[in-house]
Amino acid sequence: MTTAAADPSWWADWPKFAPGWLALLVTLGTLTRKTWTVRQNIALGPEASELRTQLVQFRALLEEVGTKHTDWFLHEDRREVARFLRDSADRRDDETLKLTVTRVADAWDEIFALAPAPRMRVRFLGGVEETRYRREDALRAAADLDQFHKMTAVAQTALIDVQIAIGRLNELERRTHGR
């Protein structure tokens, strides 16, 4: 038994086992790569281009927040943007992307909560009623201005989150597709 262990003939036999070991290494490497790619695809989620389009459109909406008046916020499609973003975030597996998209949707809800109520315009008033109405309107305009400043601050923070989400989406796509 000790003579078999000391026998140098195993050196002569190793070339016939080398292809099997190489095939095993290549198979393990391929399985590892495939598992990693599948994991990245799951983290990226379905419809990554749809999420990118939503984020770019949302960035344009956020840039308009400080310049628009209350009627702009009454449009039903603008109210639904946060719901669409939350739905897209739920389909992602990457925690960073999911967190930033959810924070962006929360910021949009906060902007809508801060939006001042639309004002009723009265055309024909006279005397004391007109003076009282104009005074109340001026007070509401000052309060609305404060609300618009708060909305602009929230929008600026949300723009940073949109940039983070787009950057993370780019990183995941580069890992998955090599772009």
Structure tokens at 19: 């292809």
Give a yes or no: residue 17 inside a domain.
no
Give a yes or no: residue 115 inside a domain.
yes
Buried b / exposed e along 61-91 (16+ C-beta atoms within 10 A): bbeebeeeeeeebeeeebeebbebbbebbee
pLDDT of amino acid 45: 66
pLDDT of amino acid 163: 94
pLDDT of amino acid 69: 61
User: What residue ranges of the chain have pLDDT lower than 50?
Assistant: 1
Residues of the chain by 3-state class (helix, strand, coil), percent to 5: 85, 0, 15
Closest CA relative to residue 60, chosen from 69, 70, 68: 68
pLDDT of amino acid 94: 82
Q: Could you tell me the pTM of the whole model?
A: 0.65
Give a yes or no: residue 159 inside a domain.
yes
Give a yes or no: residue 27 inside a domain.
no
Q: Which domain holds residue 109?
A: 45-177
Q: Are 54 and 88 in contact (CB under 8 A)?
A: yes
- As for how many domains the chain has, the answer is 1
d(C-alpha 74, C-alpha 78), whole Å:
8
Diameter of the chain measured on Cα atoms: 121
pLDDT of amino acid 36: 78
Q: Please measure the distance between the N-terminal and C-terminal CA atoms of the chain and give it in whole angstroms.
A: 59
pLDDT of amino acid 164: 93
d(C-alpha 88, C-alpha 147), whole Å:
29
Give a yes or no: residue 13 inside a domain.
no
Give a yes or no: residue 30 inside a domain.
no
pLDDT of amino acid 157: 93
Give a yes or no: residue 37 inside a domain.
no
d(C-alpha 49, C-alpha 53), whole Å:
6
Give a yes or no: residue 80 inside a domain.
yes
Residue 3 DSSP SS3: helix
